[in-house]
Structures are given as C-alpha cells and as structure tokens.
Amino acid sequence: MIKIIKLKKSLKGHGILNNKAKLNLFLDSSSNNVTIILFNEYKVIKSKQYIGNNNHTITIYKELEKMIKFNDFNQIKNIYFLNGPGSYTGIRVGMSIVKTICMVHNTSLYILNNLLFFKEMYKSPIAIDARGKKYYTLIDNEYRVKPLGEIGNSRVDPIINVDKFIDQKIYNKFNKVNYQDVKIDYMKGI
C-alpha cells in the first residue's frame, strides 16, 4: 500500500496524475511500425514503438491501455494522428480508435499526411510502401506512386524519431479537424 501511495505521489509530481495536466497522444498505425507517444508540450511521458504483425486491432488498444494505466483518458486533450498514405487497414484501425476517444472524451483531433510528416522530420524525400513493389512518394512537393527503381535517394519507410518529434515540435504542423469529418489519405488514383 505504501508503494502505491509513493508511486501516485511521484506521478503527481511529474504532472501525470494532475487533473490540470494537458496530455497529448500521437498515433501512427499506417505501417507495420506502430508508434504511440504520450507527451506534453515539453517532453515525452511515455512512448512505444513496435513492429505489428497484422494485428493492430488488438495490439494498439492494449498498448494504449498500458500507457494510460495511471492516467484517465479524460486527461488527453489532443490526439495527433497520421492519416496516410500507408496500410489502409492499419490506418483504419488507428482511426477508429482515435475517433472513439475523441467522441467519448471530447478530445481535439489533429491530422497530417505521413509524407509531409516525414519530410518535416527528416528534411529529405520520402517513400512509403504502397504494396505491389510501388511506393508513395513526395518529391519536389509532388505526390506520386512510383516503382522502387524510380524513387531515387528517398528515405524508404522511415521510422519515427520520438526525440525529433518533440524537439522540432512537429506536432505544430498538424491540422485540427472534426473527428467526424476525418478521412484516410490513401492517394487513390495518383
């Protein structure tokens, strides 16, 4: 019992159990590389990156539950979500989770295209797996789907650098949307 009280006091001291704490949640489920970050505007509180095995429906929610075990979902004020392009199913699963949190807990939702996100993070051309030996690309501010041989020196299927996400305040590049209006950006027909 004493250990639990000390843990709660420690968490309160870091603003984690403080009802006035403003927490943010970042989720990228657009590929097998899943990233979940719980943060405030100054630092990462918790983060988890893992390789999913086509089981995002189960793993994302379980990881969120672990991360927010000592936190009430009501403390999450903003959710930052990469809405594609990428794995349509992975994005759809992540989107269902974030929309549910937004609806139930009156949380604000911010979205950004993956290619813009990674271009901002790494300051270089980006290519994301589009299946069938093709890649979504953002080169010279043009979105295209190209075969592997045509993507040049693009960074292929980048991994999110958690420190850069916070240090560069990339979350400020996201666009606020109504959770009911958000769509998957899967670049169909490009």
Residue type, 190: I
64-116 per-position pLDDT tens digit:
888 886 557 888 999 999 999 988 888 999 999 999 999 999 999 999 999 99
Residue type, 113: N
13-43 per-position pLDDT tens digit:
444 444 456 899 999 999 888 999 999 978 9
Region 116-121 average pLDDT: 93
54/16 Cα distance (integer angstroms): 32
Contact indicator for 58, 34 with CB cutoff of 8 Å? no
Fold of 20-177: Nucleotidyltransferase; domain 5 (3.30.420)
Contact indicator for 187, 136 with CB cutoff of 8 Å? yes
Task: Give percent above pLDDT 90 in the chain.
Answer: 49
pTM here is 0.84
Six-digit token string for 22: 């403003």
| DSSP percent split of the chain into helix, strand, coil, nearest 5 | 35, 30, 35
